Structure 1
Amino acid sequence: MNLVVQGDDVDSVALKTVAKLTGASAIEQINPQAFRLVGAHEHGEVEAVCATAALDWTWVEPGRRLADFGLFVTDMDSTLINIECIDEIADMQGLKAEVATITEAAMRGEIDFTESLTRRVSLLAGLPESALTEVYEQRLQLNPGAERLMRGLKSAGIHTVLVSGGFTYFTERLKARLGFDEAHANQLEVVEGKLTGRVSGPVVDGAAKAAHLRAARERLGLRPDQVIAAGDGANDLPMLTEAGFGVAFRAKPVLRKAADCRLDHVGLDGLLNLFA
């Protein structure tokens, strides 16, 4: 196997240490932030060395290229973007701390997602719809590397899907902004310009995310190993299980354990380095 090691500032001593530990036959520079250790073998000390040097590391099959994939599915909140939208909306009601506590428990997998969503959305009742615009325009930012990742995926001809337990107000805008082929999320109910505290239609939970991935994969005639999925929390676990290559971005422990790739230090575009 090859081992791709990357970071914002790759320490040469740490890199050579990992190469020696894994018995790599060569070190190939992909770019200044990423290196490929050719013919490496697993070693128990790799994780500790990389963690100390703030490096991400991922095992990649030799010869695997981005064009080998046909579908990319990603979560939105805290994966594609830097916030949990519902927490920021709740802040308009002075309830951010209360809602954020529920959000965090759901992302760790400690409470059922649908239950957590229902509880959180109910607290938003009476808030003007304009609060959503304020969150999008003033608080939402793309996570590092998001735009470069999307350009790389589109250049490789990969179908892209944004699927979220968040809300369509945000996914539809990000779909247009970044060029996603599809977007799926929950619809906040609005009556006379105010949120009712309810969602319309079926809840997009972990199972629904996985179902959207399967539907796209089958429609495109792809195998599971031709699918990449990215997320950060327990709600993303079902879709990462359905994908051939799972990416945990700044993720909770429950998702990190199941992922093929963990990106804790580099941006989302670090995914492109794996298959360069």
Structure 2
Amino acid sequence: MHLILQGPLDQLAHIGAIADPARAFTIGAHAMRFEDVEAGERVRAAVSLAAFPAGVDATFIAAGRTLADFKLVAMDMDSTLITIECIDEIADMQGLKTQVSEITEAAMRGELDFGASLTKRVALLEGLDASALERVYDERLRLSPGAETMLAGVKAAGLKTLLVSGGFTFFTERLQQRLGLDYAHANVLEVREGKLTGKVLGGIVDALEKKHTVERVCAELGITPQQAIVMGDGANDLQMMAIAGLSVAFRAKPVVRAHASVALNFSGLDALLTILPES
């Protein structure tokens, strides 16, 4: 088992020493790999306890795993591929950001049913001019740190890409075209006469639908979900993360970090390329 540490260099050797590594290597400007470490529960807990307050991401991973072991990267959108929750920013155009963001946060922590919470939040947007969506995309939507580097790396390794979101097609379709993603799936906001109706067309992309989407794309590619890397941040990502060969919690809620193979709390999305080299 290898231990990959990413963060401030002055903290890495100290935290790595907890695992009593046989060999340590500096990899990149802010990362170290400790090879052949003992990875029992006691060691994992001690490393995690020391790493988080030091601003260090610690990942235990089987020796020899590379991007070549995988064929697909599936990503959540809001607060994962991008830095914002789009529905919260849309609500801000209605003067309702605080009210909607509180519901969003509770849903992401797993305290509310996602489908019901989305229906409630979208209903608050009724009557808003649809041009607000374009404003959110142009003025507020930003890619998460390391997103473009990560995507370039996984594409170079031959992996396909899927954006699967409990957000909205207005944003996923634009990101799919902009970033050259292979697949995208999200909710459709109903618009009539240039205004949001406060409803979603068709079924809601909730946790189960996200899981089914990963399964459908894997089947189309002729691979198993164990050949997929799945990234997310909220409770509605847990089901699709659970079937993946590698699950990545990015700046995630505690319940998601606790269940993920990899937790990136401080690094950018490109930290995946340090954990899983191309070959």
| TM-score normalised over the length of structure 1 | 0.97
Are residues 1:170 and 2:171 paired?
A: yes
The residue type equivalent to 1:226 in the other structure is: Q
Per the alignment, residue 6 of structure 2 pairs with: 6
The residue type equivalent to 1:262 in the other structure is: A
| 1:91 shift after superposition | 0.5
Per the alignment, residue 17 of structure 1 pairs with: 14
Per the alignment, residue 112 of structure 1 pairs with: 113
| 1:149 shift after superposition | 0.6
| Structure 2, unaligned runs of 5 or more | none
State the alpha-carbon separation in 2 of the partners of residues 219 and 109 from structure 1. Answer: 30
Per the alignment, residue 65 of structure 1 pairs with: 66
Per the alignment, residue 24 of structure 2 pairs with: 27
Q: Which deviates more, 133-142 or 223-232?
A: 223-232
| 1:20 shift after superposition | 2.4
Structure 1, residues 9-41: CA drift from partner, whole Å, max 9, x if none? 221xx3223332212111122211111100111
Asked whether the equivalents of residues 241 and 247 of structure 2 are also in contact (C-alpha less than 8 Å), the reply is: yes
**Could you say what secondary structure the match of 2:65 adopts?**
coil
Identical-residue share of aligned pairs (%): 53
The residue type equivalent to 2:127 in the other structure is: G
Asked whether the equivalents of residues 23 and 39 of structure 1 are also in contact (C-alpha less than 8 Å), the reply is: no
| 1:218 shift after superposition | 1.6
State the alpha-carbon separation in 2 of the partners of residues 259 and 70 from structure 1. Answer: 19
Per the alignment, residue 250 of structure 1 pairs with: 251
Asked whether the equivalents of residues 10 and 55 of structure 1 are also in contact (C-alpha less than 8 Å), the reply is: no
State the alpha-carbon separation in 2 of the partners of residues 193 and 223 from structure 1. Answer: 42
| Structure 1, unaligned runs of 5 or more | none
| TM-score normalised over the length of structure 2 | 0.96
| 1:228 shift after superposition | 0.4
Counterpart mapping for 1:112-261 below 5 A: 112-261=113-262
State the alpha-carbon separation in 1 of the partners of residues 12 and 38 from structure 2. Answer: 14
Asked whether the equivalents of residues 80 and 146 of structure 1 are also in contact (C-alpha less than 8 Å), the reply is: yes
The residue type equivalent to 1:275 in the other structure is: L
State the alpha-carbon separation in 2 of the partners of residues 114 and 19 from structure 1. Answer: 42
Asked whether the equivalents of residues 230 and 248 of structure 1 are also in contact (C-alpha less than 8 Å), the reply is: yes
The residue type equivalent to 1:116 in the other structure is: S
What value does the CA root-mean-square deviation take over the aligned residues? 1.0
Asked whether the equivalents of residues 6 and 12 of structure 2 are also in contact (C-alpha less than 8 Å), the reply is: no
Between Structure 1 and Structure 2, how many residues are aligned? 273
Asked whether the equivalents of residues 214 and 225 of structure 2 are also in contact (C-alpha less than 8 Å), the reply is: no
